[in-house]
A = this chain, B = another copy of it.
Amino acid sequence: MKMPQEVYIVEVGPRDGLQNIEQFLETEKKVQLIKLLAQSGLRRIEATSFVHPKAIPQFRDAKEIISGILGLKDVQFSALVPNLVGAKNALESGVKELAFVFSISESHNKNNVNRTREESVQELEKILSLKKENPDMKVRVSLSTVFGCPFEGKVKEEEILRYIGRVKDLGATTITLSDTVGYGNPKQVRQIIKSCLNQFPSITFGVHFHNTRGLGLANALVCLEEGIMIFDSSIGGLGGCPFAPGATGNISTEDLVFMLDEMGIRTGVNIELLFEASRFLQNNLKDIPLSSHLFKAGPPKGWSYVCTTL
């Protein structure tokens, strides 16, 4: 067991959580949510998505969101970008870290970003070339449908490794492996993670699980055991992919932090403060039940809120 002593949580609620919610959450509320998340100790927050407003109207205020949170200290914000235009807009707004997304399966990539995978790789190359004028920009590549595709089913490991290789050759060093629709199981996840770590020791891998079929935390546990230190999760367990039928929420930040705290692994997050963000979200999205188990059940008797600053 190479279990890490601390992990970095990437809070994706403001992006993945909100992106398929029809109700438009007002800009100032999105900003307030991000502030509450930051106050809880979350240091990496995917704040929004620079996509075409027709594709995802929820993020038509991406620029204003970023402008509302630029003053927050100690927090590393990222924004999802599906293409060069989005990347430029994000950088202009003041975002330093771009999360470029494309899918390991061709059909999901076409559905999600309207491009072939090859076109996405070329787009990534153009985005990475923006570093010349933006020396402090970072790019995290978020690979979707790594553990299964809603259109194609299982994905071949050689395809996963091939596209990681392509991305690495372009100079990317941080890659998130995503179970976009909750198809992964612990055995498969362990196998794929092992292969990725073995074949690409220079890459920093993160993981992104949805809890669609209930296996999200079991899959995260396996990654922990393999030494992964970066985990995406979403406040309240909100989330899903608007172009992936049947996709439901991300693993919830509350449940993930609880599991890690109880296992003695530091996250820097204070669950009592995190619940303030959960309550704020629930109060402002009344029709959408949050799926965080911990938020619904509350912490165990005699449980002390652990918070060790990272």
- A contacts, CB < 8 Å to B: 148-154, 181-183, 185-188, 211-215, 217-218, 220-222, 246, 248, 252, 255, 258-259, 262-264, 292-294, 296-303
Chain B: CB-nearest residue to A222: B221
Given the complex, which residues of B lie within 8 Å of A186, measured CB to CB? 221, 259, 263
Question: Which listed residue (B153, B218, B222, B293) contacts A213, Cβ 8 A?
Answer: B293
Given the complex, which residues of B lie within 8 Å of A183, measured CB to CB? 300
Q: Are B259 and A151 in contact (CB under 8 A)?
A: no
Query: How many copies of this chain does the complex contain?
Result: 2
Supply 17 A–B pairs (Cβ within 8 Å), ascending by A. A148-B300, A148-B301, A150-B300, A152-B302, A182-B297, A183-B300, A185-B259, A187-B264, A188-B263, A213-B255, A213-B294, A213-B299, A214-B255, A217-B217, A217-B218, A218-B259, A248-B293
- The answer for the CA separation of A218 and B263 in the assembled complex, in Å, is 12
- The answer for the CA separation of A213 and B254 in the assembled complex, in Å, is 9
Question: Which listed residue (B149, B211, B220, B222) contacts A301, Cβ 8 A?
Answer: B149
Give A295 Cβ to nearest chain B Cβ, in Å. Answer: 10
Chain B: CB-nearest residue to A254: B214
